[in-house]
Amino acid sequence: MLSWLAKLLLTSTAIAPVALVYAWVAFTEGETELMVYLLLGCVVLFGCMHGLLRYSKNNLEKSQFKVISIEAADRENIAFLLLYIMPLFATQFSNLNWHILVPTIVIFAAVVSTGYGYHFNPLLGLSGWHFYKVGTEEGVTYVLITKKQLRSAKQCLTVGQLTEYIVIDTEKGDTTT
């Protein structure tokens, strides 16, 4: 189990689109150096997350996982969307109140990473990953990360455990990119 590292990367990549929005604002204000740093940070986070998922699929201990209920988990959390567009409400990039904005993002990230709410991850969604809330016979609900589109709850999957309540589909039928 990669608990702390997986949580850190899932949370970071979940809020990485904020950096993309800030990069756009920096670009429109002529702050190209800051734009490059923001874009580079986003690309590095995205690459690290893909590396973690690839490593997890190949190296985590695999176990059978009998699913009895499935619900899409990557279609919620309007708070993320509001956080993503928040920089666009500033009149100019130089007018952003960094003394409020930075602690807000840090607190938001801390709450999300400790509250198991980071399964809304649009960057991973764009690269074909899906997040599902899956229930087990024991009555425990996990978040399943997979490249498959699940349509039937009555199935058995081979998974690896990323965190306490997040598992990744490790079957070779779905490939990482």
DSSP track, 42-87:
HHHHHHHHHHHHHHHHHHSPPEEEEEEEEEE-SS--HHHHHHHHGG
Q: What is the pLDDT of residue 75?
A: 57
User: Is the model's pLDDT at 176 over the cut of 50?
Assistant: no
Tally helices (H) and strands (E) across the chain: 5, 5
**Is residue 169 helix, strand or coil?**
strand
Closest to 144 (Cα-Cα) out of 155, 160, 128? 160
What is the pTM for the complete model shown? 0.72
User: Is the model's pLDDT at 153 over the cut of 90?
Assistant: no
Mean pLDDT to the nearest integer, 142-154: 84
**Would you state the structure tokens that stand for residue 93, as one six-digit string?**
């990039």
Q: What is the pLDDT of residue 65?
A: 84
| pLDDT per residue as tens digits for the range 58-96 | 888 998 888 888 887 765 555 556 666 666 665 566 666
Mean pLDDT to the nearest integer, 30-53: 89
